[in-house]
Amino acid sequence: MSSDGLRGLIDQSRKAGDLDARDMKNRRAEAGKAATLSNMFDQSIRGFLQTLERKGELVRFDKQVDPDANMAAIEWRACNELGKASLFTDIKGHPGWQACSQILSDRGKWALALNLAEDELLPGLNRKLVSRIAPVVEDTPSAPCQEVVLTGEEASLLDIPAMLASEHDGGKFLASGMAIIKDPETGIRNVSIHRQHIYDAHHTGFVMLPRQARRIYDMYRAQGRHMPAAVVIGAHPAIMFSSGFVTGYGDDEFSIAGALLGDPVRMVKCKTIDMEVPADAEIVIEGEVLCDEIRPEGPYGEIPGTYAKAGTAEVFRVKAITRRRSAIYYALHCGAPTTETQATTGLAIELATWDHLQKVEGGLDLLDVRCHPAGAMMMLVIKMRPRVAGQAKTALMAALSGPFLHPKLAIAVDDDIDANDLRQVMWSMTTRVHAEKDIDMIGNTRVFALDNVSPFVGDNPFHRIGTKWLIDATKPPPSDPEGRERFARAMPRNFDAVKLEDFLPEEMFR
Q: What is the pLDDT of residue 510?
A: 58
pLDDT < 70 stretches in the chain? 1-41, 461, 509-510
Q: Do the beta carbons of residue 304 and residue 297 sit within 8 Å?
A: no
The pLDDT of residue 294 is 96
In a 13 Å sphere around the CA of 84, the CA atoms on its Cβ side amount to 26
SS3 210: coil
CA-closest candidate to residue 231, choices 268, 191, 265: 191
Q: Which domains does the chain have, with CATH numbers?
A: 340-485 (3.40.1670.10)
Confidence at residue 406, expressed as pLDDT on a 0 to 100 scale = 86
148 secondary structure, DSSP code: E
Q: Say if CB 135 and CB 40 are below 8 A apart.
A: no
What span, in angstroms and rounded, lies between the C-alpha atoms of 129 and 178?
20
Element (H, E) at 151: strand 148-151
Query: What is residue 212's three-state secondary structure?
Result: helix
Q: Which of 343, 361, 465 is nearest to 405 (CA)?
A: 465
Instruction: Tell me how far CA of residue 236 lies from CA of 197, 233, 261, 313, 321, in angstroms.
Output: 24, 10, 9, 28, 19
CA triple 506-508-510, angle to 5 deg: 75
**Which three-class secondary structure string do you get for 319-373?**
EEEEECCCCEEECCCCCCCCCHHHHHHHHHHHHHHHHHHCCHHHCCCEEEEEECH
Tens digits of residue pLDDT in 13-62: 334 334 443 343 333 333 333 334 444 568 999 999 999 999 999 999 99
Q: What is the pLDDT of residue 210?
A: 82
* Residues with Cβ within 8 Å of residue 5, at least 6 apart in sequence: none
Output the pLDDT for position 304.
82
- The pLDDT of residue 29 is 33
- Report pLDDT for 40: 55
pLDDT in tens, 157-210: 999 999 999 999 999 999 999 999 999 999 999 999 999 999 999 999 999 988
